[in-house]
Homo-oligomer: A and B are copies of this chain.
Amino acid sequence: MIAEILSVGTELLMGQIANTDAQFLSRRLAELGIMLYRHTTVGDNPARVKEALGEALSRSDIVITTGGLGPTEDDLTKEMVAERFGLRMVLDEPSLHAIEAFMNRVGHPMAENNRKQAWFPEGATIFPNACGTAPGCVVEQDGKAVAVLPGPPHELQDMFERQLAPWLARRSGAHIESRFLRIFGIGESNVENQLRDLFHSDNPTLALYCGPGEVQARITAQAADREAALAMIEPVAEEIRDRLGDHVYGEGADNSIEQAVLSLLKARGETVSFAESCTGGLLAARLVGVPGASDALGEAHVTYCDAAKARVLGVKPETLERYTAVSEPCAREMAEGARRISGADWAVSTTGYAGPDGGADGTPVGTVFIAVAGPDGTTAEECHFRGSRAFVRTVAASWALNALRLRMEARA
């Protein structure tokens, strides 16, 4: 099956937003094995929407449109699809009731122009919108189809996963499932090398996505039903876990390393504190970013200057003088001090040169010492990160959180 994406929205042509809808759809279509040769973006202009729609249909089996489903007069994607296929627009009563119910739920009165969102090309299969007022639809004629999705990314993504992906799967007689494995502490090319043979499979497929210092592996399978698809994914997931060992820290598209750390702490009824120099509050900020962090974090300290390391955390002046603040002995004393003053079960420290300037003989910019103090002693490691100040600090914070995870798992 060959698809094209047609994005409708003057805000895209003005550069007010990036076309993340096209990126999302492209990634998901690739995972579903659907060919995609072109994206087109046009503004909220009826003639140009209709022209681009006709061109896209001439080259593909299905055109997926995004945007232009709002309540205003500008929004006319459905109308242009109807014109292109020579169909009347008809009112869908269930959609009208759903829009009314949605507006009541969010506490806004139903506006007269919202009624427009309940009209569709005759014969369309309607996709309810779980996150907003604009339903989508798919219209078919002569072996060609147009799927009409809303523009707001969370509405689009929800509708794609719940409605269009299953529709595409039914069309191909298959059910599609995915599982995400979250990987830390090993580079993308290294992951790729270790999993090389697994990329050759067409079903299930394996794809890697990268964040700063992190890799996600997505395994996607097509089968006759959900159970069969999940059963196909299971051995691949197991194989990846076997090969990558404790580099796999969790599963799920939204599962961050700080969420994994907080889950472990809560499951064990344990607490943590932080003593941060170069990360300067990022460790605490990331853990506090997860709802429920107060169960596991009571306090944390940013000790950026040497005097604060000594006064707040009790780092010995001799240590600072002999080894400097960017050293393993200092990192150890910082973590032990933070654990002592907070009474927490665990404490994690960071001290390093984040750049762009700084660094010392034998300790270049990007060097970060990370220590973890816990019930079973203190461990420390020296890391070297390459990149901007923001990159070094972000990856150092992730590395420190992961070091805590590994210590907790080793003690479990």
Contacts and interface: CB of A to CB of B under 8 A. Distances in A.
A36 interface: yes
A283 B304 CA distance: 14
A41 B39 contact: yes
Interface centre among A281, A286, A308, A342 (most CB of B within 10 A): A281
Contacts of A285: 279-282, 285, 393
A295 to B, nearest CB: 10
Interface string A293-320: 1100111111111011000100000000
Interface residues of A, number: 67
A19 B16 contact: no
A268 interface: no
A235 interface: no
Contacts of A274: 281, 302
Contact of A393 (B22, B30, B288, B389): B288
A20 interface: yes
A354 B355 CA distance: 32
A383 interface: no
B48 A291 contact: no
Interface string A161-181: 000000000000000000000
Contacts of A289: 280, 389-390, 393
A52 interface: yes
Contacts of A139: none
A43 interface: yes
B304 A281 contact: no
A101 interface: no
A252 B307 CA distance: 35
Interface string A25-52: 1111110000011111111010010001
Given A23-B19, A281-B300, A287-B280, A308 B342 contact: yes
A18 interface: yes
13 contacts: A15-B25, A15-B29, A38-B48, A39-B39, A280-B287, A280-B289, A281-B302, A285-B393, A289-B389, A299-B308, A300-B302, A300-B304, A308-B342
Given A13-B39, A289-B390, 15 more contacts: A13-B37, A15-B23, A18-B22, A19-B22, A19-B39, A38-B52, A39-B40, A40-B40, A280-B293, A280-B297, A289-B393, A293-B304, A297-B304, A298-B307, A299-B308
